[in-house]
Amino acid sequence: MKIICVVGARPNFIKISPLLDELRKHRGIESLLVHTGQHYDEGMSKVFFKDLDLPSPDIFLGIGSGSHANQTARIMIEFEKVLAGERPDLVVVVGDVNSTLACSLVCAKMPVPVAHVEAGLRSYDRTMPEEINRVVTDALSDYLFTSCEDAGGNLVKEGVPRKKIFFTGNIMIDTLLKYRKKAGVRILNELGLKKNGYALLTLHRPSNVDEKNTFADIADILMEVGHRIPVIFPVHPRTRKNIELFGLAHYFRDCSGRGVHAAEKGVFLVPPMGYLDFLSLMQNSKFVITDSGGIQEETTVLGIPCLTVRENTERPVTVREGTNIIVGRSKKKIREEVGKILAGRVKKGKVPKLWDGKTARRIVKAILKIKTRKEGART
């Protein structure tokens, strides 16, 4: 059985790593890793391969950045050639990036069976490019592996047959649990940070950083938070570009190449992190402010308070059961929740069902069962 696993951006690497490890335990499975190159530079891609012990891609498409339409189209053109040459039995896509959508579309046209890992997540906000990617990928997929129970319910409401849906758990947590000890504290020492003595920030969604007035409003409340506790901000290249373009540099302090002294306050810009360094910053922080989906899940498992700067989430289980709180862009809400955390009134959460580090094993078991079922039908 030949299986192609597709990655394109950093969240994909975290999800595919444990799956590749599990697939390669089975002698009857040949697995190939295709990297579209949607993200490919030292800070955004290469360091993740090193941190996660990922093998070099078997096929690298080298697509690079571009508009959604341009990037998706170029991935489709190149991936079609891969499918024609390799003729796999199954293609596995993960997450909700443009590579996920593009490769699913090609598979549907060829046709080649496609499995979507992390299927069924819904924000019900069609202004999010990721939501479009999720909905279309799920509609085209032959097998849908879900990370939480409500994701399966979303798929059933959309008319997906139950026999296509497999509740296997959260594969990001496989990686988190495997590497959390290895993450260590090197980056804390390098930056001069103490455990629980800082907040961690990520901000990259277009709705937050691509419009000047919106970004300025967020930066204003972040600076206020930074006056109460140092805020460490590993800044996405596009976000850093917009900080300069919109004239917002005065809200931030660039500490590239130097540490953060304990007495200092502010929002400190640092370069993008590899997986291990970022995990170290996250699990040792007082709290996290983010607009990322995956970080909502990781903080829930780590028991770290998470304030999500969005009006919605495709991961409601992190709010219902975990440590996540949706604060939107409300200065009042952010101010209140930060005050509660600093006063020790922290939201308690629990780890959702099947977020136990065994998801990759369950996915491969399901794939092998599907293979056996299909072979039985042919005979």
Query: Are 307 and 283 contained in the same domain?
Result: yes
Tokens matching residue 133: 């990617």
Question: Is 81 a member of any domain?
Answer: yes
Question: Is 175 a member of any domain?
Answer: no
pLDDT greater than 60 at residue 262? no
**pLDDT the model gives residue 258:** 58
**Pairwise CA distance, residues 285 & 232, whole Å:** 9
Q: Which residues of 293-320 are buried (b: 16+ CB within 10 A; e: fewer)?
A: bbbbbbbbbbebbbbbbbeebbbbbbbe
Query: Are 209 and 158 contained in the same domain?
Result: no
Is the Cα dihedral 157, 161, 162, 165 positive or negative? negative
Query: Are 266 and 227 contained in the same domain?
Result: yes
**pLDDT the model gives residue 263:** 55
pLDDT greater than 80 at residue 40? no
Q: How far is CA 326 from the centre of its chain?
A: 17
pLDDT greater than 60 at residue 197? yes
Mean pLDDT for the chain overall: 94
Packing angle between helix 171-179 and helix 275-283, nearest 10 degrees? Answer: 80
Q: How many domains does the chain have?
A: 2
**Pairwise CA distance, residues 252 & 270, whole Å:** 10
Task: Find the CATH number of the domain harbouring 248.
Answer: 3.40.50.2000
Question: Is 371 a member of any domain?
Answer: yes
Query: Are 141 and 247 contained in the same domain?
Result: no
Going across the sheet that includes 324-326, the strands are: 253-254, 267-270, 231-234, 199-201, 287-290, 306-308, 324-326
Per-residue pLDDT tens for 93-105?
999 999 999 999 9
Phi, psi values for residue 276, rounded to 5°: -65, -45
Lowest mean pLDDT among 7-21, 258-272, 361-375: 258-272
Whether 201 and 267 have beta carbons less than 8 Å apart is answered as yes
Query: Are 15 and 160 contained in the same domain?
Result: yes
Query: Are 123 and 215 contained in the same domain?
Result: no
Query: Are 164 and 235 contained in the same domain?
Result: no
Question: Is 181 a member of any domain?
Answer: no
Distances (CA, A) of 304 to 90, 99, 282, 356: 37, 30, 8, 17
Of 343, 347, 313, nearest to 328 (Cα)? 313
Query: Are 100 and 208 contained in the same domain?
Result: no
Of 21, 163, 142, 51, nearest to 93 (Cα)? 142
pLDDT greater than 80 at residue 142? yes
pLDDT greater than 90 at residue 254? no
Q: Could you give the residue numbers annotated as active site? A: 204
Per-residue pLDDT tens for 42-95?
556 678 888 999 999 999 999 988 889 999 999 999 999 999 999 999 999 999
Query: Are 331 and 365 contained in the same domain?
Result: no
Question: Is 109 a member of any domain?
Answer: yes
Question: Is 176 a member of any domain?
Answer: no
Question: Is 190 a member of any domain?
Answer: yes
pLDDT greater than 90 at residue 238? no
Query: Are 164 and 227 contained in the same domain?
Result: no
Per-residue pLDDT tens for 14-26?
999 999 999 999 9
Question: Is 222 a member of any domain?
Answer: yes
Greater confidence (54 vs 40) lies with 54
Query: Are 274 and 137 contained in the same domain?
Result: no
Average pLDDT over residues 170-189: 96
Query: Are 268 and 304 contained in the same domain?
Result: yes
Residues 6+ apart with CB under 8 A from 41: none
Whether 31 and 24 have beta carbons less than 8 Å apart is answered as yes
**Pairwise CA distance, residues 345 & 322, whole Å:** 15
Q: Residue 99's domain spans which residues?
A: 2-169+355-378
pLDDT greater than 60 at residue 257? no
H helix or E strand, kind and range, residue 90: strand 90-94
